[in-house]
A = this chain, B = another copy of it.
Amino acid sequence: MPCGGQGRCGRCAVIVQDGTGVRRRSTLRLTSDDLDAGYALACQTVVEGDAVVTIPPQEKIERRLVTDKTATQVTLPFIYDPVQHQPMHLVPVELDPPDMVDQTDDWSRLKRAVATTSDVSDLTADLPTLRRLGTVLREHNWGATAVVEMDTWDRPNGSHRLVDLLPPGSTDHLWGAAVDIGTTTVSLYLVDLLTGEIAAKAAEYNGQIKRGEDVISRIIYASSRSSRNSDGLGELGSLVVGTINELLERAARRAKISSSEVYKMTVAGNSTMIHLFLGLPPSSIRLEPFVTAINHPPPVRAGELGVNVHPQASVDCLPGVASYVGADISAGVIGSRMCDSSALTLFLDVGTNGEMVLGDCDWLISCACSAGPAFEGAGVRDGMRATVGAIEEVWVNSETYEPTYRVIPNPKLEARGDPTPPRGLCGSGLISLLSEMFITGVIDKGGHPNFDLGSPHIRQGEHGPEYVIAWGDQTEHGRDIVITKVDIDNLVRAKAAIYAGFTVLAQSVGVDLSMVERVLVGGSFGQYINVEKAVQIGLLPDLPWERFIFLGNTALQGALLAVLNREYRQQVSEAAQLMTYLELSADNTFYDAFTSALFLPHTDLTQFPSVAEVLADREGQSVT
């Protein structure tokens, strides 16, 4: 849950159907109606006797959907060449057996054979690998296949390490994994390092979610010590490793291999996720002056972390830049192929935070805006994740102010030809709703609903003005789905933070946003939004639509490129080194830009010429 069990977010509400011994400690986030209906915040409620509790369906995790939604097709930006690009080599070797004349030790003999067959003359090995050598060599009559790591991300021309010694002829496959640890979702590609082909992909909610939905809650959980939570850091580490292992098992099953055949793994993720994964204390990330323990972690052996690939496999966490511009963003820079061109590019990854990078790869400047999770549906009364029952697009009739909407369908109902009743609004639904309300005049540039329009959808609710998107007789839970003025203000603050980020980045290097030649949008969020509507609310800059490219999970793409290609490993390392980080919380320019953006689309309409045009058209229509 977003607040990590502190009674603040109200997302763990359950219905106590029968329970004499249930004591509510806090009902802060519940209305009197809610209480009458039996609602209680699970995290704030003590069960002191028998109770019957119903969990409302809204937050049930729809695993299938998450997996499928991230299943984008992958096209590599290069023709994969196992010799030029591959991070590892399979080196078939035939050793001269030792005899009384040549008593060279097994390890030196193997190194000699590898140097003869390949150009690797400075092979190293870990002790567990050395322990297995003699048995493998003798069982297979001095023939073998050496699995050699050619480099790691931090040493592009670096170490040559024998990771494993396989029986002779084991030259069909060489497996790698690319992982993105998202705060919400962990995604994984299983890839054949000999062909560059993706054999399987898998995604799953990050197992840490039960200890807090956002990075701040997780950091607090990792840092606090109590009787209930004696090693929060260790627990969060185990949870995410558990998720990764589940994904590995699932992907390996689909590819009909064992996950222990995976010999290299790259990991992207924000700085908090990387810290928790590696067991690095994250508390300084949260506290001013917001520094990480380490931005560029060294490669670690999988066995040390408990990741169920080959125990001697390198786990290369990609380098981050700062506390809030992590390896997900450096990975995104390569994953979005931002640096494959010298065009002035804005790269944007919107999630709970909005992280963005501006530059032409001779220079790169980045920042992070605390947009809050509004566009993920949190902090919005009827907000929800983009799962079954979420309204994902809304249209408002400009004459009747009646909404129509599209719901992410339930496949079972869809198969029967039945519509899926809505349960709430996901991020793309909220953006299109906000835009439609603004353009049709349901709300003004300050977000205030216009009661003068006389629509029954615009009404005064318990928490102030609100607009009804769906009446209770159409919804799954029987309640009206609404957006309140409070919700609108939250969304406007979120979009203002992001837009202010663009503004400050551009100002800091003296370019105008209109000069941006490409806007590369990463993150699952970006995949489903409508550019026109996002521009109309002032979330994205007003540029020709063809300059926007939506790329899905660019962090995962970056991890994939890094596991496959040493040039991209070098590029991610260089990008992280090169990137300047602007700390916005210490920046007055940002605050000014933020307050200027707290309107729809902006106080300065000249920055949004296309929106001005639409508004002028509407004005004209109203007049005629």
Contacts and interface: CB of A to CB of B under 8 A. Distances in A.
A103 B584 CA distance: 12
A585 B100 contact: yes
Contact of A284 (B106, B294, B295): B106
Contacts of A102: 289
A235 interface: no
Contacts of A93: none
A289 B107 contact: no
Contacts of A106: 284, 291-294
Contact of A98 (B138, B291, B297, B581): B291
A515 interface: no
Interface in A155-180: none
Contact of A105 (B99, B294, B304): B294
Contacts of A289: 98-100, 102-103
Interface string A286-330: 001111111111101000100000000000000000110000000
A281 interface: yes
B100 A281 contact: no
A323 to B, nearest CB: 7
Nearest to A110: B294
A532 B352 CA distance: 86
Contacts of A107: 293-296
A415 interface: no
B583 A131 contact: no
Interface stretch (A122-130, A243-251, A392-400, A439-447): A122-130
Contacts of A296: 107-108
A279 interface: yes
Contacts of A586: 100-101
Contact of A130 (B134, B283, B297): B297
Contacts of A101: 586
Given A127-B298, A284-B134, A103 B290 contact: yes
Q: How many copies does the complex hold?
A: 2
A322 B104 CA distance: 8
Contacts of A134: 280-281, 283-284, 293
A308 B284 CA distance: 31
Contact of A298 (B124, B279, B281, B322): B124
A101 B586 CA distance: 8
Interface string A463-484: 0000000000000000000000
Interface string A254-277: 000000000000000000000000
B127 A297 contact: yes
Nearest to A100: B586
A291 B105 contact: yes
Interface string A568-606: 000000000000010101100000000000000000000
A9 interface: no
A71 interface: no
A294 B130 contact: yes
Contacts of A127: 278-279, 297-298, 300, 304
A133 interface: yes
A135 interface: yes
A104 B291 contact: yes
Nearest to A106: B293
A114 to B, nearest CB: 14
A299 to B, nearest CB: 10
Contacts of A298: 124-127, 130
A280 B130 contact: yes
A105 B583 contact: no
B100 A293 contact: no
Contacts of A294: 105-108, 130, 133
A289 B100 CA distance: 5
A267 to B, nearest CB: 13
In the A-B complex, the 6 residue pairs with the smallest Cβ-Cβ separation, listed nearest first, are: A107-B294, A100-B586, A105-B292, A105-B295, A98-B291, A100-B289
Given A99-B289, A125-B298, 5 more contacts: A103-B322, A105-B294, A105-B295, A127-B278, A130-B298
